[in-house]
Structure 1
Amino acid sequence: MITVALYARVSSKSQAQNNTIESQIAELKHRIAADKHELLNEYEFKDDGLSGWSLEREGLDALRDKVGEDQIDKIYIHSPDRLSRKSAHQMILLDEFEKAGVEVIFLNHKTENNPESKLLLGMQGLVAEYECTKIMERSRRGKLHRAKKGCVSVIGIAPFGYNRIKHVDREKTKFEINEEEAKIVKQMFMWVGQERISIREVVRRLRDKSIRTRTGKKVWCPIIIWKLLRNPAYKGQAAFGKLKRVERRERNKQKVSICRTDEDSWIYIPVPKIVDEGLFNKVQKQLDENRKRARIQREGGKKKYLLQGLVVCQNCGYAYSGAQCGVEGKKFSYYRCSSTIRITDGREKCTNKLVRTDMLETAIWEKVKNLLKNPEIIKNEYHRRIAENKNDESSDKKFARRENQIKQGIEKLMEDYYSQENVGDKGYISKEEFKQTMKRMRERLRGIEEEKKKVADQKAIEKGMNLIINSIKSLYSSVKSNLEQLDWQTKRGIIKALVERIQIGYDQVEVAFRIEEPAQDGEIFNLQHCTGRHDNKSIYPLELIKRKFFSTCCII
């Protein structure tokens, strides 16, 4: 039986919403039926609303995976530009399918295995690519021309507070004020412009008033409110050209990104205004002021936190961040779980406790000083762990035993499979089962090899230990004379170099040290020395230090 598949694609979201891809699928199914083939549902591959300029498409990837697994004999596609808009990508895909022995059938192009047919297909791909580029350029220039004429149709989505009234004549498309949404917009502008509140406070008030977003979400995203308050459409001047596409240089990311353009290049289009210009300008000044205040706070204008970025909550996994509580003249600084200040729609928040910054920072700094003064505890900790994990069977014998078991299993599998071929008995194992089982066994063998590589030579580890200890001793000798008077920046650098993380639990604080040195083979030798689980000096039970820690702070 010949296994057939179909692939269909449309580019724009409007095409996806209008379900135009179904017309492609209907034509493809008609052709498959005419060729007297049967199409299974699992071999219908489609990409709805994805550009043909990229190969990163879910449906296309699934199709290529099936081709690579030798599960497909024929692929039906409406036209080459549905496969890809780039001729180079078309050649890559068709060559991949050809090498896998898969026949590709286009409804509007007869493919034959000869140079003339391939040349014609390549030319058709180039023409399609050229046509698409020309369409994009004409569309861009057309939108620019209509925007300069004051036509609002170039703005595809109306901002919150407006309805977009379409018309056959594009120049008659307009924005009308949605009175219900406009009241919410005015309220937000009044809160920020008159009461001078932050965007997070706007989010809280909207949640408390049960005001939902246009899509029905209970909690508004702060960046959405920021964009709304910055949008000049609300003062009667909708802006066109606020965003542009730029190519990315980084690998393993999208090829293009969206960024804002300079306001000088924006084209303004008159629309009905919701707020007056004076209030709009007042809100812009307040947003700038809020931003400056936040930047000053981030840069340490009010308080610097020695352990910032290293403390995490053992309960929920969120980071601990610095905060201040109290009245002017009597303020206390704490580390608190950032999950406790999230704005949620009623979901339960983390209940972990606050920790005084001075107490926690002093305790951690004492542990770091102890490590600097006594680096031998690293070697002691390593030998203790080795002793705990030692058993009667050596690592070499354990790996050899596991390898023999797998190899015997492979031999038995091959014997069953080839016995089936010789005697024609289908009761042994199918071809598909043979492939899958063989693949799993080979993966297990590769896993054992990787484990053996990770088991370092004892001498290399001992040498690495000595390098680590000497490095710490060298660091200690450079700061020994001034250890008790080090400035904040130097302390911060030492802690970041030695501490991996600090976990705050309900009843204890655990410190995990990060020790890294280059090993003999040039790779990074990484030993995480976490004395917090076994050394009482690294575990600070909250019950024992509650009088010191929490006598002047609130436990939530």
Structure 2
Amino acid sequence: MRAAVYIRVSTDDQVKHGYSLAEQREACCSRARILGAQEVTVFSDEGISGSTLERPGLNEMREAAREGRFQLLVVRDPDRLSRKLAHQLLITDELEKCGIKLEFLDFDWKDTPEGRLFYSIRGAIAEYEREKIRDRMGRGKEQKARQGGIPINFDVFGYQYDPETGKVSYLEHEKKVVVEIFNWFTSEDIGANGIAKRLNENGIPTRRRAGRWHRQVVKQILANTVYIGLWRFKGMYIKVPPIIDENTFYRAQEKLKEVRRLYAGKQKHGYLLSGLITCADCGNTMTGAYARWWGKRERRYTCNKTCQGYKNEGCRPVKYILADALEEAVWNQIQTWLMDPDRLAREAMGQIVGQNDPREQIMVINKHLASIEKGQEALIDVIAKGYLDHMDSIEKKLAELKRRKEKLEKRKEELLLAYRQREELFAKIDEIREISESILRRLDDLAFTEKRSLVRALVKQVIVSGRGVPGGNGLRFINVTVLAKIPEQKISS
């Protein structure tokens, strides 16, 4: 018999319970050999919480179980498998379907209705206890915060925190950077992006000392009340040493508010395809830019990235595509789809018509399964009648039939899922047809926001390649590919 051992330990487990991987490995392997295992495989996870199923060792063990590489699994206790009852039951059910016996060292597991009930009750109680502990810890943190203490690890640029004393103090070299950021912003004609660029050019490191400063990080610093001595935690403020005086901080807030107001004013130049366009030449997304071109300001799309923090600056020389021409081309394509509501359905159907109907394959599998079950019953009947002369070959045949049955059942589950997805797609086609017919009647009256919503409902991505030259409809020598969420079309000009 081949056996497997699963062991897991987190830092908390070692401190509270004295568990260690070596101790679990020795105890579990010893039990496996006592139960008759000639070969024992160990799967382990170290320093990983039992609250998640995404663990390398656990994943490897489950895969080995599905492949039939062992017949017995030995574990210290159910908490080693998972700290969540639902996950424990899921793994136990998987092992049972694979024909694997489960053995716990510190828990009397019985594969009976009563045993399963007790197993579930034990898991539920353990999970309840953990939730109570989590709740108590949360309330303890809030109580500590009300008393002016730091309830969690305090990791803020400009400061350092000593968990042993609970004290917050300045980190002098970062404190100077914070002061400069506020002074630059309030006394110079410079924005968050300009400050990020200056910090990068001066080689000033970030808190993690890796990567570059980004304008969003600068904005977060400028808007954080922690720098006037008020650190926000769950709706309350905890006092810490201030770095910036209140007058400087509120001048910065006024400027941020003005910047937001000016930025909001620019939104009158709406961009229909914002967030959907990708430049095929450099790989960047393309965003709206109200740019000056030959002395005239126009709406355009560009892959150029001037904000600090972007690794890819985009095409060089800078690429600009006329927004009106590009939006018109894409909108015309959408109108073409909508003018014939049934066309959408036909093109979507083309993706699935011609494929084999999953139901037909399911019927074939059901026949094979029925045949396998008859074969198993016949072999079991032979054993029951005492014909044991060829016992070894009979056992091999039963094992082979079991493997075939498991593969067929797995394939059947895949086909059932494919069938459900197929039916959902049919339903979606009907929905798109209905939407198309409704919108078609008032297509010319749609507001910009409605147009944009329609574009996002139908268009998955717009890919632009080439640079183009002035003239024609503004898209000369530019290739535009419109990928729809169901059908796909291509416009070239």
The alignment's TM-score, normalised by the length of structure 1, stands at 0.60
Q: Secondary structure at the match of 2:20?
A: helix
Match in the other structure for 1:2: 2
Q: Secondary structure at the match of 2:204?
A: coil
- Deviations 1:315-368 (CA, angstroms, capped at 9, x unpaired): 244432210223999423211126x34545765644472112244445556777
Does structure 1 residue 164 correspond to structure 2 residue 161? yes
Given that 1:8 and 1:78 are in contact with CA atoms closer than 8 Å, whether structure 2 keeps it comes out as: no
Q: Secondary structure at the match of 2:207?
A: coil
Counterparts of 1:203-282 in structure 2 under 5 Å?
Answer: 203-239=196-232, 241-242=233-234, 265-269=235-239, 271-282=240-251
Offset at residue 189 of structure 1 (A): 2.4
Give the whole-Å Cα distance in 2 for the aligned partners of 1:281 and 1:193: 10
Counterparts of 1:84-483 in structure 2 under 5 Å?
Answer: 84-87=82-85, 89-98=87-96, 100-107=99-106, 109-112=107-110, 121=119, 124-152=122-150, 154-167=151-164, 172-195=165-188, 197-239=190-232, 241-242=233-234, 265-269=235-239, 271-297=240-266, 300-301=267-268, 303-326=269-292, 330-337=296-303, 340-341=305-306, 343-344=308-309, 349-351=314-316, 353-361=319-327, 371=336
Give the RMSD, CA atoms, in angstroms.
Answer: 5.6
237 and 76 in structure 1: CA distance in 2 versus 1, 3 angstrom threshold: farther
Q: Secondary structure at the match of 2:242?
A: coil
Offset at residue 158 of structure 1 (A): 3.1
363 and 22 in structure 1: CA distance in 2 versus 1, 3 angstrom threshold: same
Given that 2:50 and 2:79 are in contact with CA atoms closer than 8 Å, whether structure 1 keeps it comes out as: no
Match in the other structure for 1:254: none
Give the whole-Å Cα distance in 1 for the aligned partners of 2:276 and 2:190: 31
Match in the other structure for 2:474: none
Give the whole-Å Cα distance in 1 for the aligned partners of 2:439 and 2:145: 64
**One-letter identity of the residue aligned with 1:129:** E
Give the whole-Å Cα distance in 1 for the aligned partners of 2:141 and 2:280: 53
Counterparts of 1:528-547 in structure 2 under 5 Å?
Answer: 528=488, 530=489, 532=491, 539-540=492-493
The alignment's TM-score, normalised by the length of structure 2, stands at 0.67
Given that 1:9 and 1:21 are in contact with CA atoms closer than 8 Å, whether structure 2 keeps it comes out as: no
**One-letter identity of the residue aligned with 1:74:** L
- Deviations 1:135-168 (CA, angstroms, capped at 9, x unpaired): 223323333333233233x23133222222233x
Structure 2 stretches of 5 or more lacking a match?
A: 373-389, 394-398, 467-476
Given that 2:9 and 2:45 are in contact with CA atoms closer than 8 Å, whether structure 1 keeps it comes out as: yes
Given that 1:75 and 1:103 are in contact with CA atoms closer than 8 Å, whether structure 2 keeps it comes out as: yes
- Deviations 1:465-504 (CA, angstroms, capped at 9, x unpaired): xx98xx78x988877xxx7x99766876787787665432
Give the whole-Å Cα distance in 2 for the aligned partners of 1:69 and 1:117: 27
Match in the other structure for 1:508: 478
Aligned counterpart in structure 2 of residue 34 of structure 1, from 30, 34, 39: 30
Match in the other structure for 1:390: none
238 and 67 in structure 1: CA distance in 2 versus 1, 3 angstrom threshold: same
Offset at residue 435 of structure 1 (A): 6.0
Q: Secondary structure at the match of 1:103?
A: strand
Give the whole-Å Cα distance in 2 for the aligned partners of 1:51 and 1:195: 52
Q: Secondary structure at the match of 2:8?
A: strand
165 and 279 in structure 1: CA distance in 2 versus 1, 3 angstrom threshold: same
Give the whole-Å Cα distance in 2 for the aligned partners of 1:334 and 1:145: 54
Give the whole-Å Cα distance in 1 for the aligned partners of 2:313 and 2:82: 47
Offset at residue 266 of structure 1 (A): 0.7
